[in-house]
Amino acid sequence: MANLHTAAHNHRIRHPTNLPAPTDYDTSLTLEARKFLKTYGLTPPGVDTFEKQSERCLAILNSRKTPIEKYQYLSVLRNTNVHLFYRLLAENVKELTPLIYTPTVGEACQRWSELYTQPEGMYLSFEDRGNLHSVIQNWPHDVEITVVTDGSRILGLGDLGINGMGIPVGKLSLYTACAGIHPLKTLPLCLDLGTSNESFRNDPLYLGSRREKVTAEEEKDFLDEMMAALTERWPGIVIQYEDFKNPFPSLERYQETYTMFNDDIQGTGAVILGGFINAVKQSGVAPADQRAVFLGAGSAGVGVAKQLTEFFMKEGLSEDDAKRRFWLVDSQGLVTNDRPGKLADHKIYFSRDDNKGKQYKTLEEIVEYVKPTILMGLSTIGGAFTPKILSRMAEMNDRPVIFPLSNPSSKSECTFEEAIKYTNGKCLFASGSPFPTLNFGGKDLVPGQGNNMYVFPGIGLGAILSKAVSVTQNMIYSSAEALATSMLPTELQDHWLYPDIRRIREVSVIVTRGVIRAAQRDGVDRELALRNISDEELEEYIRQRMYDPFTEHEKVERELVDLAEKVMTNSPMSPKVKPADALGGAMTNGNGTGQRRSTVTSRPGTSGGRK
Ligand SMILES: NC(=O)c1ccc[n+]([C@@H]2O[C@H](COP(=O)([O-])OP(=O)(O)OC[C@H]3O[C@@H](n4cnc5c(N)ncnc54)[C@H](O)[C@@H]3O)[C@@H](O)[C@H]2O)c1
Ligand SMILES: O=C(O)C[C@H](O)C(=O)O
Ligand SMILES: [Mg+2]
């Protein structure tokens, strides 16, 4: 037995710690750096510029035919040259985001087990309960933020079990791309708690356990253990819940004790509020006269309605008046107090009592009954905003607010084209997934993308930098206000509801500042030094703390020069040795300390093409 164990151990292929990191093979590294890293000869001899690398990557990407093939290429790139991946993403954020996030991430999740090739996060199984603390020790890096899902409601695609891992991976890529959280400090986490998806349970390639989804009580105990284990290993960790079928109990249970938030409830609420503040200004309809029909009364629908209620109250309405601006609709029709059956707890707050005993079932009837100024879609029902409904909205309003927010694109309640066509270009529009620009009446109309990616990166970074002990409601609300104020005058003139996605890093700085200031007002911050600096200084501090894939390599090259100088100082020949020789020499004699650096990217001066 002992021999077998030893044999197995000896035959295990394990990377010794002094093996080059994947980024050490970057083709833009100087020959000197390659010699130092002992990767000289292991990459083609040519030395690339970033422009050449980018040209090659984009050409490969274009040669891939389907979105999922492009997604796969980008995943490989992220795993083999993380800094190059983020440089490419920074320069092409508008074009690449739909490939690493919604809508393509939806298909990637549906096919996760079928297409699986490489590890990209951590899986915790129900069978591991009692041992989560030890399993978590296997994660090789220090973590600042995790996105966790149990896969039970992935976008509008239902329960995908462990195939939901694509969502934490995708969202954390955006944390890095948009808010500069270092990629090595992020932990994609997928819980394997069984799945109600029978076809996956019977799919031979499915990589999760084949049990039915555990009970709510079992999940609660599991999550209790997970939350404790994560914070024990990384005391400052920010934990973002994502795509849980019923996330309300966890939010209530953990939000005061841990630094956590739920993006589907709170992030969605904030991002829609941010765009809505701009839409209200443009529609010219006062909050007291707004009438909002929400198709979908789940975590996102209720989260958004609550956030807008808070806004209406800040605009002077009483709580009761504010909540009466909302008519929520679920799969059974209008949510009312007197409809048959028990209402889920999270729907009670907005349940109507003024329906005079009549139950309204279809969206068409409800639109006729309510005469809304706003139509929100968070229902997962693609095409639910029919031409007839859209036309009625345009008949009833000068500027109807039409927000089909379900993801991915196939689940969007209508397309941008349909909304423009059937409201005759009158609507104020935002969708969850991206739609292309449209020419209408000789003008280019740009659709708003009311997607959480405008706020969650800043909420996470704000919580990390302020070392917040919890994520308060004011921090969430402030993220929305900050988003609304981040618009440029030109964007407002063009009637945009959200800033240009290409400015996302700058927008995230503003959102992060808003979140940190709210943490300070609520007294949940522990980084007290940030309290006494001006807003400008705080923004500068945030920028300095953000991972920048373009400057990362400069840091690394500086490190190389320092090491080279050390080699020179220790050498009896030092006065005669030039730095480049010392770097080259390091190929054979090492740096004398046995240490090596962990991340390397390209050489300085290769980022000239950056906008
Ligand atoms: N834009 C964004 O950034 C964003 C953020 C979060 C969620 N979403 C999307 O919102 C959708 C809903 O997410 P969720 O977390 O609220 O899910 P959920 O499962 O909690 O809620 C879905 C709701 O839709 C209702 N519904 C289902 N079928 C319906 C029908 N035929 N008619 C009317 N209502 C129906 C359900 O009753 C439920 O109330 C998803 O597609 C998700 O991708 C978008
Ligand atoms: O992931 C997204 O694109 C937004 C949102 O969190 C969703 O669940 O749809
Ligand atoms: Mg989500």
- ipTM associated with this complex: 0.98
Give domain status of residue 7, yes or no. no
Q: Considering the chain, what percentage of its residues have pLDDT values greater than 70? A: 88
What CATH number is attached to the domain comprising 446?
3.40.50.720
Is residue 171 flagged as an active site residue?
A: yes
37: pLDDT strictly greater than 90: no
d(CA 1, CA 11) in angstroms, rounded, equals 15
Same domain, 361 and 215: no
Residues 204 and 337 reside in one and the same domain = no
> Closest Cα to atom 7, ligand 2: which residue?
155
ω into 572 cis (within 30 of 0): no
The model's pTM: 0.91
Query: Does 242 appear as a known binding residue?
Result: yes
The SS3 of residue 401 is strand
- Closest atom of ligand 2 to 406 CA is 9
Considering the candidates 70, 171, 185, 411, report the single residue annotated as catalytic: 171
Task: Specify whether 429 is located in the same domain as 477.
Answer: no
**275, 408: one domain:** yes
The per-residue pLDDT for range 205-223, each reduced to its tens digit, is: 999 999 999 999 999 999 9
- Same domain for 300 and 431, yes or no, is yes
Cis peptide before 103 (omega within 30 of 0): yes
Q: Which of 213, 241, 258 is the last residue of a domain?
A: 258
- The CATH number linked to 168 is 3.40.50.10380
Residues near ligand 1 (Cβ within 6 A): 153, 155-156, 264, 268, 295-301, 329-331, 378-381, 405-407, 411, 432, 450-452
Q: What is the pLDDT of residues 127-184, one digit of tens each?
A: 999 999 999 999 999 999 999 999 999 999 999 999 999 999 999 999 999 999 999 9
* Three state DSSP letters for 553-609: HHHHHHHHHHHHHHHHHHCCCHHHCCHHHHHHHHHHHCCCCCCCCCCCCCCCCCCCC
Rg (CA), the chain: 26
Residue 55 lies in a domain: no
Cα→Cα distances 2→6, 7, 8, 252, Å: 6, 9, 10, 50
Higher pLDDT, 585 or 520: 520
Q: Please state, in angstroms and as integers, the Cα–Cα distance from residue 532 to each residue in 81, 466, 479, 543, following that order.
A: 39, 13, 20, 18
Burial class (CB in 10 A: 0-12, 13-18, 19+), 436: exposed
437 domain-assigned: yes
For residue 102, give the ligand 2 atom closest to its CA.
3
The answer to whether 192 and 124 are in contact (CB under 8 A) is yes
Among candidate residues 237, 258, 279, the one where a domain is terminated: 258
Tell me which of 387, 415, 450 is where a domain ends.
450
Task: For the sheet with 260-262, list strands across it.
Answer: 122-125, 186-192, 145-149, 238-241, 260-262
3-state helix, strand, coil split of the chain in percent (to 5) is 50, 10, 40
Distance CA(76)–CA(440), nearest Å, equals 39
| pLDDT above 70 for 6 | no
The residue nearest atom 30 of ligand 1, judged by CA position, is 331
Q: Could you tell me the distance, in angstroms and rounded to a whole number, from the CA of residue 102 to the centre of ligand 2?
A: 7
Among the ranges given (43-52, 57-66, 429-438, 598-607), the one the predictor scored with the smallest mean pLDDT: 598-607
Number of separate domains in the chain: 3
Residue 130 belongs to a domain = yes
Question: Per the domain annotation, does 330 fall within a domain?
Answer: yes
Query: Which of 379, 385, 449 has most ligand 1 atoms within 8 Å of its beta carbon, as the pocket-test mutant?
Result: 379
Ligand 1 centre to CA of 371 (Å) is 22
179 with 310, same domain: the answer is: no
Residue 519 has pLDDT above 90, yes or no: yes
For residue 19, is it within any domain? Answer: no
Residue 450, pLDDT above cutoff 90: yes
Can you point out the beta strands (E) in 199-356? 238-241, 260-262, 292-295, 326-330, 333-334
Is 467 annotated as catalytic? Answer: no
Whether residue 270 is found in the same domain as residue 331? yes
- Looking at residue 13, its pLDDT comes to 54
Which domain, by its residues, includes 312?
Answer: 266-450
Q: What percent of the chain has pLDDT over 90?
A: 83
Report residue 33's pLDDT band, with 50, 70 and 90 as the boundaries.
Answer: confident
For residue 300, the CA-to-ligand 1 centroid distance in Å is 6
Annotated active-site residue in 86, 101, 422, 477: 101
